[in-house]
């Protein structure tokens, strides 16, 4: 498997813990058994593993991934003992080759900024018979201006997609436009550090001469492959789980309105209205 498809760094590890806790909480609150995730995968790490906690709870999961990421995902799911609950569709072009209303939940992580937003949301609504969810980067994070400044200063292309959809109100409007009813909006990955580029690269670009005094590479010891994921094993990785709980104090204890500048992502959960029922029924 390509070395680029590894979960590396504290940020990715914390993000996984936050995302998985949210998914498990939603599985406790809403009844769904069949899940579609995609098309594509918007994480810098092992592709196709966001829905692992749902499969571990018995859900049948379909991933829409291209060839390389699909191979990496299959290897990871096999290592976690849930390969029998995985189906992979490798045709990522919309509309997907799947029938209407064939999944209880259709969701994806960080795909909205990279695809036609209206086409993607409409396709997700077509495929779902119950719920649609989107996890999107938060442009109101305190690190967002620093990220913008870095790209203006260095002249490097902006690789993060359409910023217009990186706001809960914009996502709510897209979902309601296709007739879905928004049930919840939640800040995720609420971390005590800004969601910016590598701080070493940022400082080197922003402060003339700083590069001479900064390490060429950073290795914080967080590096996970398919066979050694720490997210579901609180015994073998007890200290890591304790540290993640400590770091998640903002997400656990701050009121939502105060989480906004610290959240790296937000999630919007919507439902497909039952025919014949009014929105308040």
Asked if 180 and 125 touch (Cβ cutoff 8 Å), the reply is yes
Ramachandran category for residue 276: left, alpha or beta (phi over 0 → left; psi -120 to 50 → alpha): left
pLDDT-derived band at 191 (thresholds 50, 70, 90) equals very high
What is the mean pLDDT of the segment spanning 102-106? 98
Contact 130, 107 (CB under 8 A): no
What DSSP string describes 224-278? Answer: E-GGG--TT-TTTTHHHHHHHHHHTHHHHHS-HHHHTTTEEEEEEEEEPPPTT--
Please give the backbone phi and psi of residue 82, each rounded to the nearest 5 degrees, phi first. -125, 25
What is residue 217's three-state secondary structure? coil
Three-class SS of residue 196? coil
Average pLDDT, stretch 43-61? 95
pLDDT computed for residue 89 by the predictor: 97
Question: What pTM, to 2 d.p., does this model score?
Answer: 0.93
Mapped onto helix, strand or coil, the DSSP state of residue 188 is: strand
CA neighbor of 257 nearest in space, from 266, 245, 248, 268? 266
CB 85 within 8 Å of CB 55: yes
Quick one: tokens of 74?
Answer: 């299959």
CATH numeric code, 7-271: 3.40.50.150
- Residue 202 confidence (pLDDT) above 80: no
Smallest CA-to-CA distance from 73 within 60, 84, 88 is with 88
């Amino acid at each position: 498997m390509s070395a680029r498809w590894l979960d590396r760094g504290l940020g990715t590890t914390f993000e996984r813990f936050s995302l998985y806790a949210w998914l498990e909480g939603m599985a406790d609150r809403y009844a769904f058994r069949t899940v579609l995730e995609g098309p594509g995968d918007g994480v810098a790490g092992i592709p196709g593993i966001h829905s692992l906690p749902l499969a571990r709870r018995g859900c049948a999961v379909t991933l829409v991934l291209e060839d390389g990421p699909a191979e990496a995902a299959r290897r990871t799911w096999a290592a976690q003992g849930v390969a029998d609950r995985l189906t992979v569709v490798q045709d990522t072009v919309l509309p997907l080759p799947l029938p209407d209303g064939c999944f209880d939940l259709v969701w994806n992580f960080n795909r909205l900024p990279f695809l036609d937003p209206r086409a993607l949301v409409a396709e997700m609504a077509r495929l779902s018979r119950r719920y649609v969810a989107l996890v999107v980067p938060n442009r109101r994070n305190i690190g967002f201006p620093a990220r913008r400044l870095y790209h203006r200063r260095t002249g490097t292309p902006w690789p993060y997609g359409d910023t217009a959809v990186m706001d809960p109100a914009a996502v709510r409007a897209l979902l309601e436009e296709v007739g879905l009813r928004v049930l919840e909006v939640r800040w995720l990955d609420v971390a005590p550090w800004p969601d910016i580029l590598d701080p070493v690269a940022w400082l080197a670009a922003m402060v003339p001469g700083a590069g001479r005094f900064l390490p060429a590479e950073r290795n914080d010891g967080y590096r996970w492959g398919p066979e050694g994921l720490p997210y579901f094993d609180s015994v073998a990785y007890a200290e890591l789980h304790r540290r993640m709980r400590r770091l998640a104090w903002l997400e656990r204890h701050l009121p939502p309105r105060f989480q906004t500048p610290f959240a790296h992502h937000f999630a919007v959960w919507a439902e497909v209205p039952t025919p014949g029922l009014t929105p308040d029924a």
